[in-house]
Amino acid sequence: MNMKTQIITILLSFLFIGSLSAQQTPAPKQTKDYSIVGATVHIGNGTVVENGLVVFSNGKITYAGKANPSAQKGEIINATGKHVYPGFIAADSSLGLAEIDAVRATRDFDEVGGFLPHIRTIIAYNAESRVIETMRPNGVFIAQVTPRGGTISGTSSVVQLDAWNWEDAVLKLDDGLHINWPSNFSRGRWWLGEDPALKPNKNYSKSVQNIKTYFEDAKKYLSGNRTPKNIPFEALQGTVNGKQKVFIHISGEKAIVDAIKTFNELEVKNLVLVRAHGAIKVADLIKKNNIPIIINRAHRLPNSEDEDYDLPYRTAKLLTDKGILVGLGMEGQMERMNTRNLPFYAGTFAAYGLGKEEALQLITSNNAKILGIDDKVGTLEAGKDATLFISKGDALDMRTNIISDAFIQGRKISLETHQTKLWKRYANKYKNQ
């Protein structure tokens, strides 16, 4: 075999291996009508309809409510004894921006620099990520693709999780700017011999002032003749005029108070607090300013020694009772892989005081409202996208959330992943022994 033939053989081998490991082909556009009959329909806004009917055509829901034979059309899906839910929405996730945490070349969620409002995650989004396909068997069909790092990380976008590329995936382009608010406490760098104990951050006030000055400079630029052109400042246009949301990743009640005060002074609206540990202590201020919160997963330790051990589990209940709009985000360790467990994190909040349908709202209508996509998804209502699924049991329960049929914008999607293939393979191996 000559060298040319060897090279061709090797290239073909790589192409073959790549085809085996690639994500399955996205589902084709809906061409026939569907009627799901007999199921318990969870609308997503707190309403539950027993023996319900959901009808959708051309990617849109045309009917969702009580059984109505005259509204049925197209292919009938008998879902008696099953449950229908809107597709779940993962806020504050870096899905599609990294594949293998241990391989730097696959990570593309953090750019070099501190103030990067012009960085857009959507053009880095990998629609063929094998991590993404593992979301769908649990009902997670939509995600906010969020940047990390720096003081101003950049701009997120909202995508649906069955697409050929980022252009096909987009539900809402450049939905919001993400800011990492400085902490008023810091730890010493132990690897440099500094005391690792928690202590007041002596640079906190300076860091806050830097954010304020940056926005003031941007507003001056945007209201002037804009020469020479400043691309980062140009990217803040939507934030300054109130058309784009500002997601403030923050912890601590003092920091939350300072952030609200700072952005009120800057006359920057549409704020969303993300993570917001300690928010319950300043809940009245947050409610007064009509600011929603995207909270962290419940499965974590309290943030300080004087907090109740189960406070992370009760946070959703406490904030909801204060009248604050609460959604559920995924920021944290192994966030991309763990995003598939989004409904079960919501289920944990349900086990600690929040009603089951209220917990469902954290990842359906509430997240949709916070991300500004509630006109398209989040609830099962006529006119909205037919992004939904049928489960044999409670979708917030890991044991019973077994999905039989799933649709994104009316397209019947595959629930097969490399994980389900391995599960079936080894299940058969041991069954035959």
Domain count, the chain: 2
- Do residues 414 and 369 both lie within one domain? no
In a domain, 49, yes or no: yes
- Do residues 80 and 99 both lie within one domain? no
In a domain, 3, yes or no: no
- Do residues 273 and 325 both lie within one domain? yes
Q: What is the pLDDT of residue 23?
A: 63
- Do residues 182 and 315 both lie within one domain? yes
- Do residues 74 and 172 both lie within one domain? no
Q: What is the pLDDT of residue 103?
A: 79
φ, ψ at 369 (rounded to 5°): -65, -45
> How far, in Å, CA of 245 to CA of 178, rounded?
9
- Do residues 342 and 302 both lie within one domain? yes
- Do residues 208 and 341 both lie within one domain? yes
Give the closest residue to 299 by CA, choosing from 325, 274, 333: 333
In a domain, 248, yes or no: yes
Give the closest residue to 126 by CA, choosing from 100, 90, 102: 100
- Do residues 297 and 211 both lie within one domain? yes
Helices (H), 299-394: 311-321, 335-338, 342-351, 356-362, 365-371
In a domain, 2, yes or no: no
| 186 neighbors 201 (Cβ within 8 angstroms) | yes
Per-residue pLDDT for the chain (433 aa), expressed as one digit of tens each? 556 565 555 554 444 444 444 567 899 999 999 999 999 999 999 999 999 999 999 999 999 999 999 999 999 999 999 999 999 999 999 999 998 877 777 888 889 899 999 999 999 999 999 999 999 999 999 999 999 999 999 999 999 999 999 999 999 999 999 999 999 988 777 887 888 878 889 999 999 999 999 999 999 999 999 999 999 999 999 999 999 999 999 999 999 999 999 999 999 999 999 999 999 999 999 999 999 999 999 998 888 888 899 999 999 999 999 999 999 999 988 889 899 999 999 999 999 999 999 999 999 999 999 999 999 999 999 999 999 999 999 999 999 999 999 999 999 999 998 888 888 888 888 776 6
> 168: domain CATH number?
3.20.20.140
- Do residues 395 and 427 both lie within one domain? yes
Helices (H), 67-203: 130-133, 166-169
In a domain, 10, yes or no: no
- Do residues 307 and 417 both lie within one domain? no
User: In sequence order, what DSSP letters do the residues of 122-162 get, joined into one string?
Assistant: GGG--TT-HHHHTTGGGTEEEEEE---SSSEEEEEEEEESS
- Do residues 386 and 338 both lie within one domain? no
Q: What is the pLDDT of residue 351?
A: 96
- Do residues 34 and 175 both lie within one domain? no
**Residue 363: partners with Cβ closer than 8 Å, 6 or more residues away:** 88, 89, 90, 327, 328, 342, 343, 346
> 63: domain CATH number?
2.30.40.10
Pairing of strands 326-328, 293-295: parallel
What is the extent of the structural domain holding 400? 21-87+378-433
> How far, in Å, CA of 214 to CA of 179, rounded?
12
Q: 0.75 exceeded by the pTM?
A: yes
In a domain, 12, yes or no: no
Q: What is the pLDDT of residue 423?
A: 84
The alpha carbon of residue 316 and the mean position of all alpha carbons in its chain are separated, in whole angstroms, by 17
User: Which whole-number Å values give the CA distances from 234 to 119, 180, 265, 340, 430, in the listed order?
Assistant: 12, 20, 21, 36, 60
